[in-house]
Amino acid sequence: MSVVRKFRPPNRLAKLIKDRGGLMAKDAIAAAEIGVESLREASLAVLDGALSEIERRFGPGAPDRESESFEALYALTLQMIDVSTFVADAGVDQAAISLAAITDSCAEAGVWRWNAIDVHLNALRLLRTVGAQLPAADREAMLEGLYKVSHRKIDEL
């Protein structure tokens, strides 16, 4: 049987954070938000680039989508999620997370669920274009629908 050691290592961060000076939490958050805002344009370009590439390679009109890998779609979707903080008001972040979940379940089963992926791609494009202007209830209903689709198991279909 292995020996278990239980101990409390010094937490340097705990000491530093309590030092005099520093920032109030609200000011630290505001400063971080301002800093992040400077990355908006570049981040949206990355997001749009990833969405376009997903549509090109995995959309309904993509001729070779059957031969694409699950990992490629998953990686592109994660690229979108990484920078989707700027489009959270449009629901793009949640739709992308839902697409990652469905891609993951496809990879697990080894089978593409194109209907579910196409629904997600349509929703992502719509949300990216007008998501922020949609009534909140409509946007929530759409995201709830995507969540249900992405969490259905292959054998439930």
Partner 1 sequence: MDVLQPSTRINLEKASVLVLDDNGPSLDILSQVVSGFGVNQLSRAESVKEAQALVGTKTFDLIISDVQIPEVDGIEFINWLRREAPETNRYVPVILVTGHTRTTDIFRTRDAGANFTVAKPITPKVLLERIFWVAREERAFIECDAYVGPDRRFKYEGPPIGIEGRRRDDLPAEVGTAQEANMSQDEINSLMKVAKVQI
Q: Which residues bind partner 1 (CB under 8 A)?
A: 2-9, 11-14, 16-26, 28-29, 31-36, 38-39, 42-43, 46, 74-75, 77-79, 81-85, 88, 93, 97, 100-101, 104
Min CB(45)–partner 1 separation in Å: 9
State the Cα–Cα distance between residues 45 and 39, nearest whole angstrom.
10
Min CB(63)–partner 1 separation in Å: 27
Which DSSP string do the residues of 31-50 spell out, in sequence order? HHHHHHHTTHHHHHHHHHHH
65 burial level (CB within 10 Å; 0-12, 13-18, 19+): middle
35 versus 61: smaller Cβ distance to partner 1: 35
23 versus 60: smaller Cβ distance to partner 1: 23
Min CB(35)–partner 1 separation in Å: 4
Min CB(70)–partner 1 separation in Å: 13
15 versus 135: smaller Cβ distance to partner 1: 15
State the Cα–Cα distance between residues 155 and 139, nearest whole angstrom.
28
From the list 9, 12, 13, 88, the residue with the least C-alpha distance to 43 is 88
2 versus 66: smaller Cβ distance to partner 1: 2
Min CB(99)–partner 1 separation in Å: 10
State the Cα–Cα distance between residues 125 and 130, nearest whole angstrom.
9
CA–CA distances in Å: residue 113 to residues 5, 10, 85, 95: 48, 50, 27, 16
49 versus 60: smaller Cβ distance to partner 1: 49
